[in-house]
Chains A and B, each alone.
Chain A
Amino acid sequence: MIEKEFRQLFRNAVLLRMMLAAPVMQLILLSYAANFEVKNLNIVVVDQDHTPYARRLVSKFRYIDNFHFLGYAPAYKPAYHELLTGHADLILLISPHFERDLGKANHSSVQLLVSAIDGTKAGIASGYAQSIIRDFNTDIRSETVGLEPAGGARLDIENQYWYNPRLEYKTFMVPGILFELLLLIGGMIAALNIVREKEIGTQEQLNVTPIKKHEFILGKLTPFVLIGLVQFTLGMLVAAFFFRIPIQGSIPLLYGFAFLFLLLCVGLGLLISAISETQQQAMFAVFFCLVLFILLSGLFSSTDDMPQWAQYINLFNPLRYIIEVGRNVILKGSTFRDMQTQFYALLAMSVALIGLASWRYRKTV
């Protein structure tokens, strides 16, 4: 059985090449594309003050990389129109008595309007803008007052980012995407494989043979897990040599987890294929699981910020655990002891899925 699966896999050269090349490509592409650095924020300024201070504030925005200065708008309305049409991401509104108030009351205000269609982007954009304005504020203060306000032991918060010192998004994304791909390949191909046997009728032929359940499950499981490990190796090579991600943790530990996770993925695939009758059904089921797992996994957004119910669902999200493992072991050098929770969670899920799949797979209907 195992031998046959391998022969079939190697015979299908196109699929094999896809299974090996696609992950590498996706890893590279996604890791570059899927980052949260926000660049090219289009800004429109409505300057109703026209004073040197106002211009100074504007110039601060003009010379910062993350912003792209679109131009001045004569009034609020046309600027708002730019925001509506999507040309602008944010509007900086400087009120008429900006400089006067600043000088007199030492207190003045500007207004920021941020297009929040893309929530993450909006948050980051307003963050950038605020820091620029704060910066401007300090400049002005020291110039006008000449010295720090009395009792002004200023507290500067200095951030230090551990484990990913330069806040490289690639470093953060690569370990996550690596495992996401294993789920994609392991789960999907395994599910489709058995359903295909059902469709072409060989499954029925197998069912009239005295083949044992465990022989069948093992025969299907082994090749996909091995292919998955090959993929994982490729992925690790890309991570280490192409992205130059320093791998802090133990490599055998990573492989151990990858193996466990692959068992789980293929188990999921087997279960799905046991339930579905056609490739379409299986495809849909796999996609449903994949999208749910990926979006909730913390690959793109932090799981801690998700609502409570999503966190409950996440207790059963294998991708979340393995991504935690990937990031911690690769970036932080965590050991098995640190990753015990994840290990037991993944182990329990693998056993459950493979168990369910074997139970659902029946030779007699």
Chain B
Amino acid sequence: MIETTLERGVGLRIRPWLGIAAAASFVVASFMALIWAPADAVQGEVYRIIYVHVPSAWLAYLAFVVVFLASVGWLWSRRPLFDAIAVASAEIGVLFTGLALVAGSIWAKPTWGVWWTWEPRLVTTAVMFVMYVGYLLLRGLSTDFQRRATRAAILGVILVIDVPIVHLSVLWANSLHQLPTVLRAAGGPALDSSMLLTLMVSVAAFTLVYAYFMSARVAIELVRQERLWIRT
């Protein structure tokens, strides 16, 4: 009980500031992405979707790695907070995986010429989406708190294997998706400094949104844990 009050108290004090920071950085990122950054020499204005697509994909990775860490935390210590973090992060991760897929699809049509094609990066990302939808389903169908948390944690550990596969899938010979622009194997980021700065600000803005969503969703989950299951 004391633990919960403490957790919720810290959450309550930080959350409004997180919200303000997320909203403000979002306004700045939107301005930079839509007006301040130059058009691309080859793609023209269409390339600006990168400022939504890449941060969404980054958040998907981040969220699922957090699910993995929280799952290990639960299996290790059985602290309910870890379970709350895992479910919150999984839900946000599914949301942003979907957003990355949709934004990527909208970007692909005018540039590649197709909405979708069976290419390694696209397929592994879609598989990752379905896997974590399954994770949420498993949680939704379970009825006992301890069992639900343990089963979900085991699945959370297994599923994280797909995250590096998605990221490295573009390195397989003969794929269509472009290689990572910022985290390149050789040399520095392959984009203009103003574009790089805009991308960095966008990623920061999305990460703040993630942190804000997390603080809110974890707080809801802690209340639910208390209402539905008597916590020790």
Q: Are A and B subunits of one complex? A: no
B contact set with A: CB distance below 8 Å? none
